[in-house]
Amino acid sequence: MLTAALYIAFFSIAAALAICMVRLVRGPHAPDRVLAFDTLYINTIALMIVLDIYHSTSVLFEAALLIALTGFVATAAFARYLARGKVME
């Protein structure tokens, strides 16, 4: 039962990743691309957690935490660059 739920979650997250990649490539404006990037790393974190539950380890949880921290900083930097034209003052 849990295995079936993990397979459904895996394929749902993979579909969400594919949709985010399409928006990242075809986004008409820069803010659309930034939001697609933000959603992409969140979906990547979810995928890593599902895979970690499937393999019954805790290695990928730490990697997911690092991706979350890096993704947050990158999204904040992109948003600041789009708003002001530079990241650091």
Domain-by-domain residue ranges, the chain? Answer: 2-84
- C-alpha–C-alpha distance, residues 33 and 31, integer Å: 5
**Residue 17 contacts residue 9 (beta carbons within 8 Å):** no
- 35-58 residue pLDDT tens: 898 999 999 999 999 999 999 888
Give the pLDDT score at 83: 82
Q: Is 88 a residue whose pLDDT tops 80?
A: no
CATH of domain 2-84: 1.10.287
Helices (H), the chain: 2-26, 30-55, 59-84
Section 1-17 average pLDDT: 94
- C-alpha–C-alpha distance, residues 72 and 42, integer Å: 9
Closest CA to 46 of 70, 19, 64: 64
Q: Is 76 a residue whose pLDDT tops 90?
A: no
User: pTM for this structure?
Assistant: 0.82
Phi and psi at residue 85, to the nearest 5°: 90, -10
Give the pLDDT score at 13: 96
